[in-house]
Structure 1
Amino acid sequence: MGYMLRGSKSRTCGADQKWSGEAAECVAVQCEAIHEPEYGTMICSKNRNFGSICTINCDSGYDLIGPRQRACGAEGRWSGLPPTCELIHCGPTTSPQHGNVTCSMFDQFGSQCQYECNEGYKLVGSNSRVCQESGAWTGIQPVCELVQCRPLASPENAFVACSSGNDYNSRCRYVCTVGFELVGSDNRVCQSNGRWTGDRPYCEQITCGVLSDIPRGRIVCADEDRYNSECTYKCNSGFSIYGSTTRRCLETGKWSGSVPECHRVSCPALLPPDHGSMKCNQESHHNSTCSITCDTCFTLVGSTARRCRADGLWSGEEPLCQRSQCTPLLNPLNGKKHCSMGDECGSECSFSCLPGFSMSGNNTRECTAEGGWTGTTPKCIRESCIPMNPDPELTMSCSDENKVGSNCTFTCPPDQNLIGSKWRECTSTGQWTNTLPVCRQCSHLKSDLVFIIDGSWSVGNVNFRKAKDFMKSLVNPFEIGWDYTRVSVLQYSDDPRIEFYLKDYQDKTTLLNAIDAITYKGGNTRTGEAIRYM
């Protein structure tokens, strides 16, 4: 083995005494020459001779494709197929999401790939990988993660709002609470390096600056010059404010409104009342006093003096000059009257009697500025009274029959009592005083009547007249006299006033006239004072 026959495998001795074929010999076996593969080396143990073993190795970066060894066989052929050295590939690389990869020789052995992330992302893993002989890349596939900055904390008295939390490119805006202003940038952005732009701002309380006092006035602030503090302006007494009375510190750091002024107080011009005059000591300025008086025959209703107050208004009530009035006069009994201006001041009233009556007293009376009438109440006197017809038991004795001024006295028999007045007089009105008495066997009665009447303003002239008529209707049935019924009247308002006493009038006619002559007092209602007086 290891040799091969060269020549004829068999020979035959021919007739010509020659061997057929060629002489045979055994020659050592050799295989054909083989070459080492490209990018590789080959080492043979016996060159091309039989039994030689050739070992093939590839250069670094190349991978052997085929048998690593070939042997030269007895047949002179190499075992196996010729191997090749092919370049090693590690497989294609992929770009990470949000990044890219750049390789020097694609995926071939020795290729170096550099990984980068897009802006705003950071690489997690190897930033480079190399294709090894093993056909594998060094390291692991990196990833690109979104860059994040440290979370921002809200400054004191502020809050921060971010568009995307603390992620890359998130824009955060700082806003101070009401009453504070931001010092520093109001916006910060998360950068690709994981840091925020700018510095952390802070909030500073808003102030508007201290306000100064105004001339002739002062200022009071609720919270000095801080935000939302309200300052109130006040003027000294006698001065009023023109402009804003209050100002407020706004978010802008400025005061609302404008500085007011204190002007001297002036009241509206006063005009004297009709039928009156007025005198002021300082025109219409603060503390000026005006006194008001009315013309003759006019009474002042309202304030007699008014002062210009600090609020620009006049004290007291607006005065009015009202024409003075007297108590209305009644027509004399059996007569009439005519007044030029009713019961007003300056009015002149003339009186006249009916036929058959003559005037006694003033025939004219004038209403004075003091509210009273001149003269006295006139009377229309009749010349005689109607003759009396007494009962038979009654004895009558008259001084002048039934003529005006005649006095008649009455007596009863000893066993009877006189009921009624002991005397009667024929008055100028043609009426007998008292009532005609009678003789009766009964006790002699006496009584005292006292009337308390309200003469205050709450009654009024009309009702006061009705009160007097009511008293007359109560008195009329009684026998008036010292030994019979006596009457007294007290009128009250602010204070009590006795119109006449029990002893003053001893006949009915003069009593009724006295009631008619009572004048309306006027004033406030003080009933308790009148009762205590009685």
Structure 2
Amino acid sequence: MGHPALSAPPWASGVQIFHRAWVKNMLKVFKKCPTLNSPAHGSINCSHPHGEFSFGSRCMTTCDEGFVLNGTAVTECTAMSNWSTDIPHCLAKKCPTLNSPAHGSIFCSHPHGEFSFGSRCTTTCDEGFVLNGTSSTECTSMGKWSTDIPPCLVKKCPTLNSPAHGSINCSHPHGEFSFGSRCTTTCDEGFVLNGTADTECTAMSNWSTDIPQCLARRCPTLSSPSHGSLVCSNPHREYSFASVCTSTCAEGFVLNGTAITECTPQGRWNRDIPHCLAERCPILTPPSHGTLDCSHSHGEFSFGSRCTSTCEDGFLLTGMADTECTSAGTWSTEIPACQARQCPLLAKSPQHGRMNCSHLNSPFSYGSQCDFKCNKGFWLKGTSAMMCNTSGYWNQDPPICQPVQCKAIRAFSSDLSMNCSHPLGNFSFSSECVFSCKDGFTLNGTAVILCSATGIWSDSLPSCTGMSIGTAMLLYTGAGTGIAVGILLLIGLTMLIMKQLKKTGNMITSDVPTWGERENPAFEF
């Protein structure tokens, strides 16, 4: 504007008339801008001084709760029939990245992006540990987690005390008398364990076995000599460590040796019972699956004779190997039996399989055989049969059941999205893959395929067809209808060629060998 004190030059009115005519013509040429749509998770608010989405229109973008703008909020329709800036995106607010607690793990769902608004995470603890807090937390619209990740605390077992005449030695990987603690009981000299030496604190907060007792070591039972007597003192229990026995003979018989014998810490008498000569004992026969070896100091099977039983390979004595003919004409102990050697018990069938056992002698002993089979959808890794040998060991480790493997798959097209779950391992039996297409594209095929028990996918890989509406809208400009139509025809031809290429390229592929090319299917990555 000119200064009020000055008069306008004579040509000023002509310039103003020309300017108004120019603006009017420009409004006719550049009248419209492309129609704007609200972004996902947001909205636009516009003012239109010269008509909807026309020159001078001004639009402001705002985002929903929990989302923030990624770009410029305000755009304006220019005289060139285009917007000054693109409509920005609304991105979900981010929360801090979460890490699994010690001895635990977290499982999260992310509807709007990893660790962002709406993400929900659940914490679980490893076996033997328990959550100390709330298991679930959620990323709020403020970009903060609703609760902290709780720690996993180790489970406790009752405190153990040493047994009488013994001691315990423990290791505590996670804290004193807690899950994983292992304790071993040992006895003082002259005492032996009555039970299992080792015990472990389980995930159920109890010990796998009770603390055993320490009992005085037993010595062989003694019998009075014929025409004599035997008197013993037993500070712990009969015929055990520290027991002292004294032999005496009746009139007419004399001791053949020292009268006093003592039970040592090794469970042996420090000397033999003396003889009062000489009484006969019954004839002995060897045990089944065994032999009998005897020595006769005063005649066959008479007072002083000693016999030792031994078993064939694969069998063990169930009692004392040695027996002695006493002065009373009886054997100090009965001939023991020969029992088949015991192999470690096979407590249960392999996971996802079955076990069937036959026992030639006693259960899980020498001669026992166990056969294994797998459930549908699994294959046996290892030999299908185990045998208990003469040494009391299984001839091999138990086999395991592995899930049947399907071919690995991947989506070659950028328009196709694939999300798979693998409960038993990557691309194996019961794996499930879900497919979806980008906006503007249509899924051509099955949306969900499953890995079957035979290692074959339930259907072939789908594809995506079509072109997004947004791509077509961007082709429209103010440069003229004829140019826009030409560009649309060119892009349409390109998309048709790409569609034909996708039909031939978007197939299930894998570097994993087929079932015929390997002895046993296994997980391959």
TM-score, length basis structure 1? 0.37
Which structure's relative contact order is higher, taking Cα pairs within 8 Å and 6+ residues apart?
Answer: 2
Higher strand share: 1
TM-score, length basis structure 2? 0.38
